[in-house]
Amino acid sequence: MSEFSIQESIVLIPEEDFSHKKSVLKRKIDEIQDEDQIFYKLANNVLVGEDQKGKVIDAMKDITTKRSSRDTGINERSLEKIPTIVRNFSNQVADMKTQSATITFKEVASLYD
């Protein structure tokens, strides 16, 4: 009776494509972007004409512009990040599915001993 063991990586579950998750997440951020547009359209209609000037007006315009570009920035950052986080997820899942194992084989005759 003889037996021996080897150590190697085994694929426990085949790899899977998770890229559809990107569009699911992107759609939700698109909805947030659309809602931002609704909000800033409401704000931008308040002052009639774009060339109006004055202390109060300038402050209102300034804060609206800053808020709007900050929100746009957050949304764009999120959109840019989605491929990365889905790829990270995908890679880590793939890593997890391949594990190192010690496999022991026994000679056939000995199996009937």
Partner 1 sequence: MSLDKIKLDTVWMRLVDTEYGNDPDKMEQAFKTIYLEETGELFEGDVEVYHSSDSESTSNFKSHYDGTALSISSEGEHNLYVISQGTQGMEDWLYNIKGPFSGVTVKQVEAAKEFTEDAKRHFDINPEESEVISFNHSLGLHNSGMTGLTEGTFDEVYGVNGLMVSPYELARYDFAFAQEINNEFDLRNPKEIRDIPFAELRQFTVDYYRDNGTKIHNVVSEDDPLYSISEKFGFITEFSDTKIVDTNPDVSGLKEMIDKIPAPVIESLRVLATDYAEGDEKGGFNQSMNQLLGANLESLDEYSLGGAVKWYREHPEEVDQTISGLNDNLPRVLENIRLMEENSDVIFTELYKGGYITADQRKVMIEELGNLEKELTNLQEAVQFNVNMHDDDGWFDKIRRGIGDTGLAAVAAILYYKIPNSLDRIKESGTLESLEGIVESHSITEMLNALAGGNRSYVGKDLVFTSDAGGGDPIKVNMSAAMRLYTQGITSLEVKQTLISELETMVRDELEFAYKDEKWKVMREINNVESSPRSYAFELGQHRFPSYKVSFVNVHHEIYPLEQADLDEEIADMKLSVDTGFSYIENYRKAIEELFKEDEEVSTLFDLSRRI
Would you tell me which residues interact with partner 1 (CB under 8 A)? 3-5, 8, 10-13, 18, 21, 24-25, 28-29, 31-32, 35-36, 38-39, 42-43, 45-49, 52-57, 59-60, 63, 67, 70-71, 74, 77-78, 81-82, 84-86, 88-89, 92-93, 96-97, 99-109, 111
Q: Show the CA angle centred on residue 69, arms to residues 87 and 25, nearest 5°.
A: 25
Task: Please report how close the Cβ of residue 66 comes to partner 1 at its closest, in angstroms.
Answer: 10
CB of 34 to partner 1, least distance (A): 9
Q: Which of 74, 75, 66, 79 is nearest to 40 (CA)?
A: 66
CB-nearer residue toward partner 1: 17 or 78:
78
The answer to whether 29 and 86 are in contact (CB under 8 A) is no
Q: Cα separation of 59 and 86, whole Å?
A: 41
